[in-house]
Amino acid sequence: MLARLSLLSLLLNTGLPVTYGQTSNVTCLPYYEWTSNSQKQTPCQVASSLLSLCNGGKPFDVVPLSAGQHYQGPTTVSGSNPCVCSTVTYSLMTACGLCQGRSVLRWSEWSTNCPIVSLRQFSRPLPSGLRVPAWAYLDVKEKDAFDQFLAKDNANSTESTSALAPTTTSQTGPATSTALSDTTTSNSEASASTTAESSEGEGAETPKPDLKNANRVGGAVVGSILGIALIFGVGTIALKRRRRAQYPHPNEDQPQPVTKPGSGGAQPA
C-alpha cells in the first residue's frame, strides 16, 4: 500500500517561525519545468504559500516525497479547511507530486473529507506578489483528476495574482464554490444559458405569413374565374337562342311538302 503524507499532519508538525511564506525544497524533474510560474517557483512552493493562509500565519512545509508516497487531502472532516479543500490547491499539490515522478490521487479521493469545496477558485486573497499558474484553475471535477497534458497546454496563459480565476483558453464559465453533493448549476450560469437559448430562438424564428392578404388574393382569383365562367355561359346561351331564331326546326304547325303520285315535283297540299 502506498504511504500517505497528510497535509494536515505536515501542517501540525512544521515547527517553523510564525511568518507568512512558502517552504519547500522539492526539486522537479526537467520535463516538468513548465509547472513553475514566471518567478521560477515550483508548484510545491506556490501551494505552500496558499496553504500557509490557513495555517494561522505559519509557513506550510511541503516536503519531498519518497518512493511509494503521495500527497493526501484532509484525513478528517474536522481537520479540513478552505485552503486545502480548493481545486487550485489540489492541482498544485498534484503537479508537485507528478514533477517528482510520484503517484497522485483523484480529486474525489483528495476531497473525501471536505464538506465544502472551492471549484476553480481559491477562497482567500492571494499573498502579495504570488503568481498562481493559470492551469491551477482548470476543471478537475469532470474527469475527477488533474489533467497534466491540458495543464501543459495552458502553461503560458495569464497567471493569477488575485483570489479569482484568471481567463484561460480552455475553460469557460465563472468559478463557483459548492458542496460535494451539490450538482446544480449556479444561478449566473443558468440565467446566461437561458438568455443565450432565448436569443437564438428569436433569431431563428421564421416570420409568419400575412393570412389576411393571402385570403384577399385568393378570393379575388376565385371571383375572377367565376365571373369569366358566368359571362361565357350567358354568351353561349344567347348565341344558341339566336341560331334557333334564324333557323327554326320544322314542327306540326308548318305545312310539309308531299309528293303526289305521278307528279314530278313536290306540290303544296
Over its length of 269 residues, how does the chain's per-residue pLDDT go in tens digits?
Answer: 444 455 544 443 333 332 345 678 999 999 999 999 999 999 999 999 999 999 887 889 999 999 999 999 999 999 999 999 999 999 999 999 999 999 999 999 999 999 999 999 998 999 889 999 999 999 999 999 999 999 999 999 999 987 555 433 333 344 433 333 332 223 333 323 323 333 344 444 444 445 455 556 556 666 667 777 777 776 677 667 766 655 555 444 444 444 444 444 444 44
Confidence (pLDDT) at 40: 95
- Do the beta carbons of residue 76 and residue 113 sit within 8 Å? yes
Single-letter amino acid, residue 231: I
90 C-beta neighbours (distance < 10 Å), count? 27
* 266 contact partners, CB below 8 Å, separation of at least 6: 257, 258, 259
Confidence (pLDDT) at 17: 31
What sign results for the dihedral spanned by CA atoms 222, 223, 226, 231?
negative
Confidence (pLDDT) at 116: 94
What sign results for the dihedral spanned by CA atoms 125, 81, 22, 35?
negative
E strands, the chain, in order: 3-6, 22-24, 60-62, 69-72, 116-119, 176-179, 258-259, 266-267
Confidence (pLDDT) at 23: 76
Give ∠ CA 48-51-56 in degrees, rounded to 5: 120
Strand partners, 70: 4
Confidence (pLDDT) at 127: 87
Residue count (the chain): 269
Confidence (pLDDT) at 228: 78
Confidence (pLDDT) at 6: 52
Confidence (pLDDT) at 215: 57
- Do the beta carbons of residue 111 and residue 140 sit within 8 Å? no
Largest distance between two CA atoms of the chain: 164
- The rounded distance, in Å, linking the Cα atoms of 139 and 158 is 16
- Do the beta carbons of residue 82 and residue 115 sit within 8 Å? no
pTM: 0.57
- Do the beta carbons of residue 119 and residue 75 sit within 8 Å? no
Confidence (pLDDT) at 255: 45
Confidence (pLDDT) at 265: 41
- The rounded distance, in Å, linking the Cα atoms of 54 and 59 is 10
Confidence (pLDDT) at 237: 74
Could you give phi then psi for residue 69, rounded to 5 degrees?
A: -105, 160
